[in-house]
């Protein structure tokens, strides 16, 4: 259990999922229409592949987080529902244009693009991200773009040559849990990526996210906040870890909504431009409206 102990202030036992985490299954005509459109365009979403609990709410609003470069990851993180396997071949060269056409068809004001890790590629997929940004800029010049990228630090220059509006890279958990939760990843490598992006593109919004409920302590979460602020990260998301299947890491604690409120207040006090902390917060949930809030908040600080 956490350093606070299961069942004490800030956590509840893990016997059953609390009511505040129960959401309706995706349904309705707009959800079906979104699913059909994505199927016709041969596009994947992290909403579906990662079994996001907010898929119904997002698809009802016509919002999706696209996952490029396939549905198989070269790593095997203990928390992630994306299958781990050796990808088959290079990225689909037609995918950037199909994505751009779909963004235009859906009239998206803000689009989120992510991918599995592609350690099999020489540039780890950075040039494919750049191609997607270029294609969207050409067909939907007023659409803002958020990239949720893997930890391809040595290839960040490729992405930053055609910069998105938001560069997101999730730390996911506290350093102590990296060995068991994020095999193949390094905490300080991820921090350097975020800081490097801000140094190269000071006007770029940077963003990162944490899952809680994996056995971390409050002090560890606060240290991650401090590390992210030292890396000049603008936007922090904090959400409850939910176990995708019995093959994945178990939930250690369900963090109470009151504790999420405390985390939000403390993070705001540390100087983040924007903080979203709640049991159902996910990296791309409400990303469109959050981007507008980011712009307003920065303008107030200038």
- Are the C-beta atoms of residues 296 and 74 closer than 8 Å to each other? no
Residue 5 resides in a domain? no
In a domain, 6, yes or no: no
| pLDDT at 51 exceeding the cut of 70 | no
Task: Note whether residue 155 is domain-resident.
Answer: yes
Average of per-residue pLDDT values in the chain: 86
Q: Strand 110-114 vs strand 144-148: parallel, antiparallel, or unpaired?
A: parallel
Identify the pLDDT of residue 19.
Answer: 80
- Is 100 a domain residue? yes
Predicted confidence (pLDDT) per residue in 187-228, tens digit: 999 999 999 999 999 999 999 999 999 999 999 999 999 999
Are β-strands 65-67 and 44-45 bridged in parallel, bridged antiparallel, or unpaired?
Answer: antiparallel
| Segments in 86-184 forming alpha helices (H) | 95-106, 126-139, 156-160, 178-181
Quote the pLDDT of residue 64: 72
Instruction: Name the nearest CA neighbour of 248 among 184, 183, 181.
Output: 181
User: Would you state the pLDDT for residue 49?
Assistant: 56
Report the distance separating Cα 1 and Cα 5, nearest Å.
5
pLDDT value of position 2: 35
Helix (H) or strand (E) holding 299: helix 287-301
Distance CA 141, CA 133 (A): 10
Q: Residue 164: inside a domain, yes or no?
A: yes
**Looking at the domain assignment, is residue 96 inside a domain?**
yes
Domain that holds residue 95: 11-301
pLDDT band, residue 3 (cuts 50/70/90):
very low
Angle, alpha carbons 86-188-250 (nearest 5°) = 60
pLDDT band at 11 (very low <50, low <70, confident <90, very high): low
Please state the pTM of the whole predicted model. 0.86
In this predicted structure, what is the pLDDT of residue 50?
54
Q: Do 108 and 62 meet the contact criterion of CB atoms below 8 Å apart?
A: yes
For residue 145, list its beta bridge partners: 111
Quick check: 82 pLDDT over 90? no
Q: Give the count of domains, the chain.
A: 1
CATH of the domain at 155: 3.20.20.70
Residue closest to 130 by CA, chosen among 103, 98, 164: 164
| Per-residue model confidence as pLDDT tens digits over 119-159 | 999 999 999 999 999 999 999 999 999 999 999 988 999 99
SS3 187: helix
pLDDT digits (tens, 9 = 90+) for 219-245: 999 999 999 999 999 999 999 999 988
Is 254 domain-assigned? yes
The rounded distance, in Å, linking the Cα atoms of 292 and 44 is: 25
Q: How confident is the model at residue 89 (pLDDT cuts 50, 70, 90)?
A: confident
Nearest to 179 by CA among 209, 214, 203: 214
- What was the pLDDT predicted at 10? 65
C-alpha to C-alpha distances, 118 to 135, 156, 195, 257, nearest whole angstrom: 21, 14, 22, 35
Q: Could you tell me if residue 2 is inside a domain?
A: no
- Mean per-residue pLDDT, 164-185: 94
For residues 41-62, average pLDDT: 65
């Amino acid at each position: 259990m956490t350093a606070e102990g299961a069942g004490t202030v800030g956590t509840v036992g893990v016997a059953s999922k609390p009511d505040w985490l129960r959401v309706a299954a995706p349904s309705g005509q707009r959800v079906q229409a979104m699913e059909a459109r994505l199927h016709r365009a041969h596009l994947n979403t992290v909403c579906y592949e990662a079994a996001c609990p907010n898929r119904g709410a997002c698809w009802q609003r016509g919002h999706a987080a696209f996952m490029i470069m396939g549905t198989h990851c070269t790593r095997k993180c203990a928390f992630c529902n994306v299958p781990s396997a050796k990808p088959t071949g290079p990225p689909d060269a037609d995918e950037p244009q199909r994505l751009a056409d779909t963004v235009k068809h859906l009239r998206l004001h803000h689009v989120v693009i992510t991918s599995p890790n592609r350690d099999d590629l020489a540039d780890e997929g950075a040039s494919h991200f750049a191609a997607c940004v270029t294609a969207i800029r050409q067909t939907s010049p007023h659409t803002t773009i958020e990239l949720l990228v893997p930890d391809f630090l040595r290839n960040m220059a490729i992405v930053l040559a055609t910069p998105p509006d938001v560069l997101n890279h999730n730390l996911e958990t506290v350093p102590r849990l990296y060995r068991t939760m994020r095999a193949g990843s390094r905490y300080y490598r991820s921090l350097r990526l975020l800081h490097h992006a801000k140094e190269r593109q000071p006007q770029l919004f940077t963003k990162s996210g944490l899952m809680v409920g994996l056995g971390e302590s409050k002090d560890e979460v606060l240290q991650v906040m401090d590390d992210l602020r030292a890396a000049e990260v603008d936007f922090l998301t904090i959400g409850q870890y939910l176990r995708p299947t019995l093959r994945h890491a178990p939930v250690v604690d369900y963090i109470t909504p009151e504790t999420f409120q405390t985390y939000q207040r403390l993070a705001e006090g540390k100087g983040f431009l924007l903080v979203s902390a709640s049991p159902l917060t996910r990296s791309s949930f409400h990303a469109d409206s959050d981007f507008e809030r980011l712009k307003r908040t920065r303008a107030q600080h200038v």
